[in-house]
């Protein structure tokens, strides 16, 4: 996207200016992408860790409207196997902190409505969602008969009403402007209304076994620990009802570590407690990622040296990071493929991104650029597509 202004962020929790650089994250960006990198920094005042040198919130709103990664969910909106475990777990915690089944609940960034559907299954009846993707809104209505308003977070209409609970599930890690987001959310809450939050727990990120630097993705720009989440909400008049650090297996061998918390609107501002856990953990994560990347580099350097034609499966954060951090862009890449239809038709440095079915046209080796879904992709190549191509894996 051209014509954007990139700027350093003051700490989005405490508004302090002084910060320390932890890691310069870089990407070789897609033709339709928003950013080609940022600096991961730590606030010297409160300890919050976040991405700096970014466009303003309105640019991200436009990006999510146009490029929603979560549209359709790859299954026509039906929950994944992971969701069938994750969603009941989340609803169990929500119902513990908000047992009133008549409470009015709004899920902001509801995607296909899976969490709302699980709440409905557990007796909650006054449910509504908001999502920037028209397809997600339509899917939630068709699959679960749940009302969903199509709008970005910054333009939720006042006519939507007021709620006992607003849910931010995997949303706050994407937000540039907390101030306006939380102020607008206050307008949506009844007196003593609550906010429920689910976010990645970056005080345990060195335990995460995904690809190197994957937590510093093209879309995740805030890195919370329990203390920094309490600071964010406490400085804006919300008191904690409960906070829980959880883990659940996403795929075999890969656990997702999250913070689940609920805060009540009291109007009283709480004093800051410095987050002393997240920065040291991020530094451990960065060191582990560098070691892991070194092992991947040897495979990529061989591909560059041999100059055999290859097709790369996957164009997300993992591939964009490898193209910036390694010699991969000097390999003889004939095409990229991806199962996410939002990427198809774009390009990386002039090389087209095609649907996975296009692999049938290429006799070349296939490089699988994913750790999380590596086994699943190899299975698709061998069984669903029945291709004889040589497959190169990185993990």
In 139-237, DSSP assigns E strands to 147-150, 163-169, 189-200, 222-223
Please report the pLDDT score of residue 70 as a whole number: 45
Predicted confidence at residue 393, as pLDDT, reads: 98
Number of DSSP helices (H) and strands (E) in the chain, helices first: 9, 17
| Dihedrals phi, psi of 311, to nearest 5 degrees | -115, 135
The whole-number pLDDT of residue 71 equals: 57
- Copy the structure tokens of residue 10: 């003051």
- Which stretches of the chain are DSSP H helices? 57-67, 81-97, 114-121, 134-144, 178-188, 226-234, 278-306, 317-325, 374-379
Alpha helices in 221-343 (DSSP H): 226-234, 278-306, 317-325
Q: Count CB-CB contacts under 10 A for residue 24.
A: 12
The sign of the CA dihedral 356, 309, 377, 205 is: negative
Which domains does the chain show, CATH number per domain?
67-271 (3.40.50.150), 300-393 (3.40.50.720)
CA dist 112 and 131 (Å) reads: 9
Q: Using alpha carbons only, give the angle 257, 259, 264 rounded to the nearest 5 degrees.
A: 170
Please, how many CA atoms are within 13 Å of residue 34, restricted to the half-sphere of its CB? 26
Q: Give the pLDDT score at 176.
A: 94
Global confidence as pTM: 0.92
Picking from 108, 167, 113, the residue whose alpha carbon sits closest to that of residue 142 is 113
The tokens of 342 are what? 């939002």
pLDDT of residue 73: 45
Q: What is the pLDDT of residue 2?
A: 53
Check residue 77 and give its pLDDT.
63
Please report, in tens digits, the pLDDT of each residue of the chain (395 residues total).
456 677 899 999 999 999 999 999 999 988 777 889 999 999 999 999 999 999 888 888 777 776 655 455 445 567 788 999 999 999 999 999 999 999 999 999 999 999 999 999 999 999 999 998 888 888 899 999 999 999 988 889 999 999 999 999 999 999 999 999 999 999 999 999 999 999 999 999 999 888 999 999 999 999 999 999 999 999 999 999 999 999 999 887 889 999 999 999 999 999 999 999 999 999 999 999 999 999 999 999 999 999 999 999 999 999 999 999 999 999 999 999 999 988 999 999 999 999 999 999 999 999 999 998 999 999 999 999 999 999 999 99
């Amino acid at each position: 996207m051209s014509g954007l202004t990139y700027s350093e962020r003051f700490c989005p929790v405490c508004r302090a200016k002084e910060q320390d650089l932890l890691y310069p994250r870089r990407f070789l960006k897609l033709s339709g992408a928003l950013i080609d990198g940022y600096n991961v920094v730590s606030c010297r005042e409160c300890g919050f860790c976040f991405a700096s040198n970014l466009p303003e919130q309105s640019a991200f709103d436009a990006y999510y409207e146009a490029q929603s990664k979560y549209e359709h969910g790859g299954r026509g909106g039906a929950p994944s196997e992971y969701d069938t475990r994750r969603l009941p777990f989340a609803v169990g915690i929500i119902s513990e902190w908000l047992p009133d089944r008549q409470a009015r609940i709004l899920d902001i960034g509801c995607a296909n409505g899976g969490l709302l559907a699980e709440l409905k299954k557990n007796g909650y009846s006054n449910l509504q969602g908001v999502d920037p993707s028209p397809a997600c809104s339509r899917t939630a209505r068709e699959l679960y008969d749940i009302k969903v308003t199509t709008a970005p977070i910054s333009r939720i209409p006042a006519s939507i009403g007021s709620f006992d609970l607003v849910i931010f599930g995997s949303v706050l890690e994407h937000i540039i402007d907390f101030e306006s987001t939380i102020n607008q959310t206050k307008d949506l809450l009844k007196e003593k209304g609550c906010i429920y939050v689910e976010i990645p727990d970056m005080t345990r990120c060195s335990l995460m076994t995904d690809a190197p630097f994957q937590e510093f993705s093209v879309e995740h720009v805030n890195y919370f620990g329990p203390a920094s989440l309490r600071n964010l909400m406490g400085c804006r008049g919300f008191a904690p009802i409960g906070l829980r650090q959880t883990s659940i297996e996403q795929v075999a061998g890969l656990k997702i570590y999250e913070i689940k918390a609920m805060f009540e609107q009291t109007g009283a501002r709480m004093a800051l407690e410095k987050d002393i856990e997240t920065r040291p953990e991020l530094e451990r994560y960065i060191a582990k990622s560098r070691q892991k990347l070194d092992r991947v580099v040897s495979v990529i350097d061989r591909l560059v040296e041999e100059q055999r034609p290859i097709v790369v499966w996957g164009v997300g954060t993992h591939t964009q990071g490898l193209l910036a951090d390694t010699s991969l862009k000097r390999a003889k890449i004939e095409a990229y493929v991806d199962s996410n239809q939002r990427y198809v038709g774009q390009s990386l440095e002039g090389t087209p991104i095609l649907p996975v079915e296009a692999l049938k046209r290429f006799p070349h080796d296939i490089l699988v650029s994913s750790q999380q879904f590596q086994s699943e992709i190899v299975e698709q190549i061998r069984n669903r597509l029945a291709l004889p191509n040589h497959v190169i894996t990185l993990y």
